[in-house]
Chain A
Amino acid sequence: MSQPILQAESVIKNFRLGKEEISVLKGVDLSLQSGEMLALLGTSGAGKSTLLHVLGLLDPPSKGRILYEGQEVQNLPAQQRARLRHQKIGFVFQFYHLIPELSALQNVKLGSMMDISLGAWWKRRGELDARARELLQLVGLEHRLRHRPAELSGGERQRVAIARALIANPKLILADEPTGNLDSHTADDVLELLFRINQERGISFLLVTHNEELAARCHRIVRLKDGVVIGEELPAQTGASQES
C-alpha cells in the first residue's frame, strides 16, 4: 500500500471559552490515500469542520501529528504552512468565499498568484490565464468568465470556487459542506463535477458532510461523533462497518 497523502495521528483540539476549556477533537486518527475520496460524516457539532481546518493547516492541533506525504507539518512556521497550503491543498467552502470585486476568471487566476513574484507572473501571465480559462471551461462556466460573484447563481459560484481550488494543481481538496448551501438539483451537478475531477485527475478529496447519500458515493466514510472517530466504512460493503 502506498504512503497516505494525509495522516492525522491522535489529533486533539481544545478551545478555551472564558475559563472553560472545551475539547472538540479528542484524539482523531485518520489517513487519506492518494486519489481517494473520503467522506467525513457527522452531525452538527461533531467536530468535522474543526478537523478539516486542522488538517488544512488553518488551525494548529492542541496535540497530535499531521503528516503530508509522510512529512510532519503541524509545527511548521506560518510562512511554510502557507506555502504548503498553496502548493498541495485546495479548499472548497460551503459559502464559496469568492472575492466580490473580482470576476469569475479573476477569482480563479488569483489562486495562481499566491506564490509567485510580479516578474514571474508577468512572464507566465498568458499561460496562467489560459489555465484559468481551461478550468472554468472544465466546470462549465466558459460563458461566465467576466461575471462577478453577485451576478452568478449559487451553483455557479461553487463551480468557480472549485476551479479556483484546482488552479495550483493541488494533490488534495478539502471540501467543507460543498453542497450545503445549494438546492438538490444544483448540489447533484456540483457533486458530479467533484467526482469527475477525482476520477479524471486523481486528486484526493476529503468531503465534510452530514449528507448520508453524498457520503455513500465516496470511496470511504469516516464517522465522527463528539470529536472521536466512531467508525469507518466502505460504502460498497454496507453493513460491514467497523466500530472503533
Chain B
Amino acid sequence: MYRYFLALRYLINRPINLLGTIGIMLGVWSLIVVVSIFSGYLGAVEEHLRSSTADLSVIEPPETIPFEILQRAIEADENVLACSPRLLWYGLLHPFGARVKSEVIGQTGAVVSETNFVSVIGIDPELDRRVTGFHGWLTEVIDEEMRVANPDRPLDDRADLPSMVISTSRMQREAASIGDRIRLTTGQSSGSRQSESLNFINATFALSGSFSSSYAGFDSLNVFVHIDRMREMLKSPAGSTNEIAIKLLDPDKAEETALRLTNTLKVLDPRMRFTSVRTWKQSNFIQLSSIEHQRSLMQLVLFVIMIVAAFLMYTTLSMMVTEKTGDIGILTAMGGSPLGVSSVFLACGLVIALVGSVLGVVTGCLSSIYLDDFNQWLKASFEIDLFPTRIYNLKSVPYSLDPLWMLIVSAIALMVGLVVSGLPAWRAARLDPLQSLRRD
C-alpha cells in the first residue's frame, strides 16, 4: 500500500513532476490533433475524389466493339447499375470572357491555379446522369447567371455552336457570361509510327453554364462537351469512346466487380491489349497515397515530441530519486524491499504518463472538434488564418478522430512512461539504504 500512498504524495507535493505530465500531454495532444486533421483532410479529399470519379472506369475499351455491345455486357453484371461512354481529350482554351489579364490568381477566390490547358470530357448527359454526379454539379451552382438553363440538357447546341460547360471558378475568373464563345485548340496525330504528324484542330464552343463538383482540383482541370460533338471534332466514328464510367449498386464491392468486368471484357476481346478496369481509388491512387504518405511522415515526426517528453520525464524522476535518497533509506529500514521501493518511483512514472495521456487525449479531442471555431475566431479577431480552408476548397477545418489511433497513442505514451521511469526506479532499488541513512 505504501508505494501508492507515497507515489501519490510525491506527485502532489512536487510541482516539477508537472513538467513530465505536460510533456507527455503535449506529445499525445499533437499526435491526436495533427493526425486527426490529416485524416479529416484525407477523408475530405477522398470524398471529393469520390464525387468526381465514377465507381469504376473502363480505360481504353476495345475500339473495335461498339459501345452498345460493351454497355450490354457491362450492365449485365449483378453489381452494375448503369454505365456511360466518355471521350477524354486535351486542349488549350483561348482567353475568353471579360477578364482583365493582369488579375492575380489566388486573391479573388479562385485560389487553385487554373491553367488554360484542360482535359475535355465528352459525355452523353442523359446516360451520364445515372453514373456520375455531373447533373448534381450543375444544380449546385448558386449564382443563377452562371447556372445552365436546363440541367437535364446542359450540352445542347446553342446558336449552331456546340456547348461547353466549365467550372464556376473558371467562369468567375474569366468574368465570362453564358453564351460567350470559347475557342479550343487541340491536336491529333496521324500517319504511321515512322511518319507520325500532328494535326492541329481548332473548334469553337458556346458557354452554356458552369458546374461545381466541390473538388477544386477537378474543377480547375476539366471542361465538359457533348460526346457527339467531340467525335465530330476528332473525326472519330459514331459510338467511339475511350473511357466508360460505371455506377455500382454496392460501391464497397468495387474491386471484385472490376475483376469480373475485366473477365467479361476479355471474353469480348481476348487480346484486350490496353483495356483496364479501375476502381475510383485506383484512378486516384497517386493523390490518395501522397496524402497518406504525408500523414505517416507527420506521425513519425510527431513521435519526436514524445521522445522529448520521455527525456523530460526521465530527468524529473531521476532528480526525484536523487533527492529522495534519505526516504529510500528509511523506507528500507521500515520494511520496504528493494522491489517495493523501486515501485514507488515506477508508480510515479506511470501516473505521470497516465495523467499526461488522459489530458492529451481529452485536449486533443477538444482541440480537433473546436479547431474550426478557434480558426474562425482568430481570423475574425486578428486576421490570422491557421488553416486556410479556401486553399483546400473546404468549408471548415476537417478532422477525423479515430478511437484506435487514440488507444495506440495512449498505449505508447504509457509504455514510454514505464520505460523511462524504469531506470530511475532501478537505481532506487540498488541504492544502499545505509548510505542514504548516513547522508544526513
State the A residues within 8 Å of B (CB).
53, 56, 58-59, 78-79, 82-83, 85-87, 91, 93, 95, 97-99, 101-102, 106, 110-111, 113-118, 120-121, 164, 168
Contact = CB atoms under 8 A, between A and B. Distances in A.
Given A97-B440, A110-B6, A113-B5, A168 B434 contact: no
Given A97-B326, A110-B6, 20 more contacts: A58-B332, A58-B437, A82-B335, A82-B336, A83-B335, A85-B334, A85-B335, A86-B334, A91-B333, A93-B333, A93-B437, A99-B6, A99-B9, A101-B10, A101-B14, A110-B334, A114-B2, A114-B331, A115-B335, A164-B334
From B2, B331, B333, B340, residue with most partner A Cβ within 10 Å: B333
B364 interface: no
B348 to A, nearest CB: 12
A97 B332 contact: no
A53 B327 CA distance: 17
Contacts of A79: 337, 339
B9 A101 contact: yes
Nearest to B440: A95
B434 A82 contact: no
Interface in B315-368: 326-327, 329-340
B330 A97 contact: yes
Contacts of A86: 334-335
A145 to B, nearest CB: 16
B338 A78 contact: yes
A164 B333 CA distance: 12
A118 B1 contact: yes
A114 B333 contact: no
A49 to B, nearest CB: 8
A234 to B, nearest CB: 30
Nearest to B323: A100
- Most A-side CB within 10 Å, residue of B6, B334, B338: B334
Contacts of B340: 82, 114
B122 interface: no
B4 interface: yes
Contact of B336 (A87, A97, A114): A114
B190 interface: no
Of A101, A111, A117, A164, most buried by chain B (CB within 10 Å of CB) is A101
B335 A102 contact: no
B5 A59 contact: no
A85 B333 contact: yes
Contacts of A53: 434
A102 B9 contact: yes
Contacts of A116: 1
B433 interface: yes
Contact of B13 (A58, A101, A118, A120): A101
Contacts of B434: 53, 58-59
Contacts of A99: 6, 9, 327, 330
B257 to A, nearest CB: 59
Which of A97, A117, A168 has the largest number of chain B CB atoms within 10 A? A97
A102 B2 CA distance: 12
A97 B329 contact: yes
A113 B1 CA distance: 5
B10 A110 contact: no
A79 B334 CA distance: 12
B18 to A, nearest CB: 15
8 contacts: A78-B338, A93-B330, A97-B326, A99-B6, A110-B2, A110-B5, A110-B334, A116-B1
Nearest to B432: A59
B327 A82 contact: no
Contacts of B326: 97
B334 A91 contact: yes
A86 B337 CA distance: 10
A204 B5 CA distance: 30
